[in-house]
């Protein structure tokens, strides 16, 4: 897949990365500069433990085009104090705070905390309702419970949501799309063996697709196995453009418009 020409490409958005992680210590300014040079106009850096929120906020405050979100990652729920709706709502007052989470359910490694994860998820959903900010969902090996809770809560009161780094099955994808939610395409969608996942994205409405890196994780080819970074979202966007039969520029423009609609506080 040819690398997009940054001089000609429409800016694309990395809707989910983790710029505060120690993988980037000593070179955050440089990697943000590399992302801009590659044609990445905006980034959302995600705080996964509220104790780290001040540092994540500082990164967003320091850099134009960098926004942030915060919540308790489901794999951290057992090790962190249970977050409150009021805490999340208070954080949302910051002008660069644009989303609630990431939150969700992960039964792959942390199924023993499933009940607490579900409680935490419902708290984050209520904060998303109150703030009108999008919920950012992590889902792994929990498709049935995820679909059930998202649907139950939406019936109790509408909210918006993105299924970050979507790599679950078609039933959860359809449940999310039926609720008006968005699916975010990560480097996993560019892996050669991800045919079924690409088919899920291809069947989804184009106006409900975002792209992300989840950096430092899940680098797309040809960087697979190395540390990921926001500049590489252009690789995933190039795969998305091919999947939808579009030019890179048109796909970048469409996913950026989708991002603006969902992450309205970060709209261009």
**Does 102 show up as a binding residue in the annotation?**
yes
**Does 214 show up as a binding residue in the annotation?**
yes
- Bridge partners, residue 86, by sequence: none
First to last CA, the chain: 28
**Does 152 show up as a binding residue in the annotation?**
no
Sheet (strand 40-47) strand order: 12-17, 40-47, 66-70, 97-106, 135-140, 161-163, 182-185, 209-211
Residue with tokens 């993105």: 162
Q: How many angstroms separate the Cα of 114 from the Cα of each of 8, 48, 108, 111, 120?
A: 47, 17, 10, 5, 10
Task: Please give the Cα distance from 14 to 3 (Å, whole number).
Answer: 16
**Does 73 show up as a binding residue in the annotation?**
no
CB-based contacts of 20-26 (< 8 A; 24+ apart in sequence): 20/45, 20/47, 20/52, 20/55, 20/56, 20/59, 21/216, 23/216, 23/227, 24/216, 24/229
**Does 154 show up as a binding residue in the annotation?**
no
Residue 65 tokens read as 């085009």
Q: Between 143-156 and 170-178, two packed helices, what is the crossing angle to 10 degrees?
A: 10
- Bridge partners, residue 42, by sequence: 13
- Bridge partners, residue 103, by sequence: 137
Neighbours of 127 (CB within 10 A): 26
Residue 45 tokens read as 């850096």
Which residue ranges make up the annotated binding site for a divalent metal cation? Answer: 16, 18, 102, 138, 164, 214
List binding-site positions: 16, 18, 102, 138, 164, 214
């Amino acid at each position: 897949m040819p690398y997009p020409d940054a001089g000609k490409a429409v800016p694309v958005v990395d809707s989910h990365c983790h710029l505060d992680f120690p993988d980037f210590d000593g070179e955050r300014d440089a990697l943000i500069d590399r992302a801009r040079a590659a044609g990445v106009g905006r980034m959302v850096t995600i705080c996964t433990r509220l104790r780290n929120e001040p540092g994540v906020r500082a990164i967003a405050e320091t850099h134009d085009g960098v926004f942030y979100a915060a919540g308790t990652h489901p794999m951290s729920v057992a090790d962190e104090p249970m977050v409150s709706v009021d805490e999340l709502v208070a954080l949302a007052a910051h002008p660069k705070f644009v989303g609630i989470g990431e939150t969700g359910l992960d039964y792959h490694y942390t199924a023993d905390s499933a009940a607490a994860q579900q409680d935490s998820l419902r708290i984050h959903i209520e904060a998303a309702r109150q703030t009108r900010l999008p919920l950012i969902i992590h889902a792994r090996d929990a498709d049935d419970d995820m679909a059930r809770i998202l649907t139950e809560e939406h019936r109790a009161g509408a909210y918006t949501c993105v299924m970050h780094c979507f790599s679950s099955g078609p039933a959860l994808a359809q449940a999310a799309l039926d609720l008006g939610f968005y699916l975010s395409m990560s480097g996993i969608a560019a892996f050669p063996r991800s045919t079924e996942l690409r088919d899920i994205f291809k069947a989804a409405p184009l106006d409900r697709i975002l792209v992300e890196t989840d950096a430092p994780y899940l680098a797309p080819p040809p960087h697979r196995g190395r540390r990921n970074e926001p500049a590489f979202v252009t690789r995933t966007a190039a795969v998305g453009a091919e999947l939808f039969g579009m030019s890179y520029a048109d796909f970048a423009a469409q996913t950026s418009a989708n991002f603006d609609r969902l992450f309205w506080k970060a709209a261009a």
